Chain A
Amino acid sequence: DQQVKQNSPSLSVQEGRISILNCDYTNSMFDYFLWYKKYPAEGPTFLISISSIKDKNEDGRFTVFLNKSAKHLSLHIVPSQPGDSAVYFCAASTLEGGKLIFGQGTELSVKP
């Protein structure tokens, strides 16, 4: 099931710079997209989401961009901090209360 794909397994960024994590999807019926952050041996922690009727949502240092025509979303973290180092998952759903389809995750490392 490759409906949601994160093609970069890892990303390394210098502290203070921008981190850009990317996610592609194939199912045009997805109407809600989420980003989760996960530390080892912990559950996914919700970060930010976006509805398919929007193209941008911002929350503090985190901004999610949605390009429906390209079936692509991205998470921008600026400025990046060492505490942001974790695995980031994008996820998508097709209806309210519906299952989340996850990407494979991107491991972000922010170096001091």
Chain B
Amino acid sequence: EPEVTQTPSHQVTQMGQEVILRCVPISNHLYFYWYRQILGQKVEFLVSFYNNEISEKSEIFDDQFSVERPDGSNFTLKIRSTKLEDSAMYFCASSDEKAETQYFGPGTRLLVL
């Protein structure tokens, strides 16, 4: 069964450093998303991406964040200058042309020191 994959599974970085989180969505899906879950809190929406552009973003998704689909398979989230409060699980998700159900990857645990 096709699934969303994410790399790395864990990332430790120093405050102020740039990180790139990578995702491979399900191959025939058209909608792509990033969410995050800070420990003990809700899963929060960050950004959605469709037709090679951002379709919606949350207040969390400020100028420090960017997304890219550099080729036909990868979908990346870049945090330019990480802050301590960026420590969280980051989940990538994708959905097909019906855009009803979002399928999530296993997540990347980011720890900013």
Contacts and interface: CB of A to CB of B under 8 A. Distances in A.
A62 interface: no
B43 A44 contact: yes
Contacts of A45: 104
B95 to A, nearest CB: 7
Q: How large is the interface on A (under 10, 10 to 19, 20 to 34, 35 or more residues)?
A: 20 to 34
A48 to B, nearest CB: 10
A97 B99 contact: yes
Contacts of B43: 44, 89, 91, 100, 102
10 contacts: A41-B107, A43-B6, A43-B104, A43-B107, A44-B43, A49-B101, A97-B31, A97-B48, A97-B99, A100-B35
Contacts of A49: 100-101
A100 B106 contact: no
Interface in A66-103: 89, 91, 96-103
Given A96-B100, A101-B45, A43 B109 contact: no
Interface of B: 4, 6, 31, 33, 35, 42-45, 48, 50, 55-56, 58, 91, 95, 98-107, 109
A97 B51 CA distance: 12
Interface of A: 32, 34, 36, 41-46, 49, 51, 89, 91, 96-105
A98 B35 CA distance: 13
A98 B56 contact: yes
